[in-house]
Chain A
Amino acid sequence: MENNLKKVDIIFEIDEKQSPLAILEKTVKRPADEIILDLIDSGLKGRGGAGFPTGLKWKFTRNEDNEVKYVICNADEGEPGTFKDREIIDRVPEKIFAGMAICGFVIGAKEGYIYLRGEYNFLLKNLQKKLDEFNAGMKKAGIEFTIYIKSGSGAYVCGEESALFESMEGKRGEPRNKPPYPTVAGYNSKPTVINNVETLVYTTMICHMGPERFKALGTKDSRGSKVFSVSGDTPISGIYELELGMPLNEFVDGFGDGDTKAVQVGGASGHCVPRKKFNDTIIGFEGIPTGGSMMIFNSTRSMYNVLHDYLEFFTEESCGQCTPCRVGCQQLLKGIEAVKRGERPPAYLDDLKKLTATMKIAAKCGLGQSVGNPFNSIIDNFREEIIY
């Protein structure tokens, strides 16, 4: 790849001299508070998309006074356009296990669970085999921590952490009211750390290599690197670990097909950036954050169809529990159809934009709150494609 993009190799790096189990064994000899300080120092933020500082999340949970706590790995990778966790699970599962066990050591948990996306059941056999070995290894090393796998059933909303807990508890996967947050009452209403697959691997690697190497990457607000799932109109789709904080134009230079019209950053629930804004858009927490999905569209694509697909997805995947999301998504979908058919005036799009403002602040969880992201960014930048 001939461009300015800084490729990084942390996540998939294989250190022949030190296995993830060895990293774990080394790490649990250190004081837990020191590990937390390292994580905070590294600047690592959650890689699932929401970007909560990982060290703080662990610290809050550690501070909870409770006999039973849990570590959960959110492997319900369901955001359209995201497929990096699948690769991580397949290639370096031990690094995930080690991260979970380190977390367990830090917060005082004895059990960890991997919530595996229903559609990833084909990974289960191999993952379980590796996990059995790792659990045995931990037992042998005297580390009192066991990891289990729970399979999801294919609902997008179960990637939302509290819906994930409900699903794990055998209930309908519907998001809970917050507060309380997971650090106080998560799985089985016990203090719980729930981290994304990639985040857990980074924690292992930061414990391995120290916070400095991680911190040296990225920008002030977006430390480190990130695994991106690149798809769409690109000759080189796939998984790439890149430094955070890159300008979008550099990304497009590296991955586009020369005719890039827009990039959907952060999956269906993310933002659509048109060509004219590539230069001003930073990929990171200071600009547009992403769980890793980068979908590239060239000039042959109809942005109406793109938006329509997203809205169909959300209409179907809303859990249906809260009004703004359940009905709001349907209104947005049917609304653009009505405008397209001329049954509603173009100005109706502005009514719908106002509706997304309500969804953003009144929906119960991140699903309904973020549907306005693709909607508004596509309507604002490609209004004529929606109407005509």
Chain B
Amino acid sequence: MSKYLVNLKINNMPIAVEEGTTILEAAKKLNFRIPTLCNHPDLTVAGNCRVCVVEVKGARLLAAACATPVSEGMEVLTNSEKVRIARKHIVELLLAEHNADCTKCFKNGHCELQDLSGEYRIGDHVFLDLVKPASKIQDISSPSIVKDDSKCIRCQRCVRTCTELQGVSALGVVNKGDHQRISTFLNKPLHEVVCTNCGQCINRCPTGALTERNYIEEVWNALYNPAKFVVVQTAPATRIALGEDLGIQVGERVTGKMVSALKKLGFNKVLDTDFTADLTIMEEGTELLTRLKKALVDKDEKVVLPMMTSCSPGWIKFQEHMYPELLDNLSTCKSPQQMFGAIAKTYYADKINIKAQDMIVVSIMPCVAKKFECERPEMRDSGYQDVDYVLTTRELAMMIKQAGIDFDKLEDDHYDSILGESTGAAVIFGATGGVMEAALRTAYEIVTGREVPFTNLNIKPVRGMEGIKEASIKIKSVKPEWSFLEGVELNVAIAHGLANARKLMEKVKSGEASYHFIEIMGCPGGCLGGGGQPIPTSPEIRKKRAEAIYSEDTEMVLRKSHENPEVAEIYREFLGEPLGHKSHDLLHTHYKARKRY
């Protein structure tokens, strides 16, 4: 049903928009920018910061442009005297509650309140400083997220993110009036509550109230230390987003420049998490086929289906808190980051003749949950902490700036070998549905000896930004050893964002759907929308990043994980076979049930 058109005027310019459009959206169409703070394209409308107030002729009150739908004959002024005075007051009030130590702030230069304050040239602060000394004590309990209440402007974007997008509700509003603030269950430190460390709140915090725990100085120290051999791995989704923080437009791939910059920063070897993403597919694909065989042929009741992916540490912690009864469904495969760490400090260290204790493994990740993951006690199979430091895409951009590297002008460079080779199947790990697609490309071929029956290997049904995707693939004409799979319809499902994961888990628990394999990514859009990616984020930005990921895949020579020659080599030289003894020791892990409170 088509919607009615509503006629109105904004700053005396006529416009007709569909009914239900907000004043904010209508003004944007006329190229009038109305400032906002609590509004975010991924979240429901709050209308609580009031920065977007506008004057509607004839109305007693100013209207919050983000929350007010247009109406017929409405006359809106976005910059009248009343509006300007009110807006300036509101910014001044926010600043009065805000610990404006901007030069010391991790978000200096990336703060929406700072921008607005600059725009309105707030000079002397008219009002009294209301920052409570106690609020300046940061919560640094989490290895991933730092929470600084003194920077918080109560816009509640983080609360809505945690509730609406992630279905976690680790953050909530407590108290009222002058004591109102954003807190956790019983005001406990972040590491003691259900927080999954996904960091989506960081991506949406307009100020420095929520930031990643940064390890930039630690990494510089390692790089300056001649006794240390520092290797770096880069996650699939970093190469399509890093440019955003370095003056390059959204959706532009910067793989070669990133490698070049990392070498200039002084890393001894620049290697690729994509390599272990391919390795993950070998292990996880084999694990899936093994589980299917045990369940379908051996009728082993201990084997549970559907099998669920385990690459996303936010998702893992979510599952440990929320659905501990489904932990056996998780693939035992470590994430590609952790497989890399374990391989780097064993196989690779031997190969290049470096002692594991002298090696520092740094990860560049689109993720802040990876910072937590690398500190998990399970992740020390090399005998040392397998991955030492995790930097977000944003932190890497800062290091590149600090080093004075003109990123835009860099020549493309190549990953070092070994542990630098990868396929298109690995790079699509960065998008929702990518692990599924990569696994299917390999598993189908193992079973049938033929390529997946999709044009150019592009398994379109598992791609896209729908919250939950489902697909079925009929397996036909299998190789003799896989005869039990002949004619089987393989049912798969994919969810991204933990609120969607929760919906899918409920379906699994109720038995409403019977899947064989489920891919879950903790963040909206998958890793490309990760909590460590450049800010801002929005559905459009994530769509462009996804396009970049898939074009990177298309341009790769090798597009199936099992064709990665370095992967074949590591099995030949070191691991033996997928799910073999060595793999079990280094590449697989277990999970632990955690309480909700």
Contact = CB atoms under 8 A, between A and B. Distances in A.
Chains A and B come from one and the same complex: yes
Interface of A: 155, 157, 172, 177, 179, 314-324, 326-331, 334-335, 338, 351, 354-355, 357-358, 361-364, 369
Nearest to A351: B126
B154 interface: yes
Contact of A326 (B60, B85, B154): B154
Instruction: Name which of A322, A324, A327 has the most chain B CB atoms within 10 A of its CB.
Output: A327
B281 to A, nearest CB: 44
Nearest to A369: B61
Contact of A362 (B53, B97, B156, B173): B53
Interface stretch (B174-182, B201-209, B302-310): B174-182
A361 B177 contact: no
Nearest to A363: B50
Contacts of B180: 318-321, 326
A14 to B, nearest CB: 40
15 contacts: A179-B68, A315-B177, A316-B178, A317-B177, A318-B178, A322-B49, A322-B50, A324-B93, A326-B180, A338-B128, A355-B89, A357-B85, A361-B82, A362-B62, A362-B89
A330 B335 CA distance: 49
Interface string B333-369: 0000000000000000000000000000000000000
A330 B96 CA distance: 10
B61 A361 contact: yes
Contacts of A334: 128, 130
Given A179-B69, A315-B177, A324-B93, A331 B50 contact: no
Q: Tell me which of A320, A363, A364 has the highest count of chain B C-beta atoms within 10 A of its own C-beta.
A: A320
B93 A316 contact: no
Given A323-B93, A331-B128, A361-B61, 12 more contacts: A177-B67, A317-B176, A318-B176, A321-B48, A324-B50, A326-B177, A327-B130, A328-B93, A351-B126, A358-B85, A361-B86, A362-B53
Contact of A335 (B64, B128, B179): B128
The size class of the interface chain B forms with chain A is 35 or more
B47 A327 contact: no
If over half of B's interface residues share one DSSP class (helix, strand or loop), that class is named, otherwise mixed; here it is loop
A38 B130 CA distance: 53
A318 B62 contact: no
Nearest to A321: B48
Nearest to B53: A362
A364 B86 CA distance: 13
Interface in B165-185: 173, 175-180
B90 interface: yes
Contact of A327 (B62, B94, B173, B175): B94
B90 A323 contact: yes
Interface in B42-63: 45-51, 53, 60-62
B120 interface: no
A177 B60 CA distance: 15
B127 interface: yes
A177 B93 contact: no
Given A331-B128, A361-B86, A155 B176 contact: yes
Contacts of A331: 93, 96, 127-128, 130
Contacts of A157: 176
A270 to B, nearest CB: 18
A363 B60 CA distance: 12
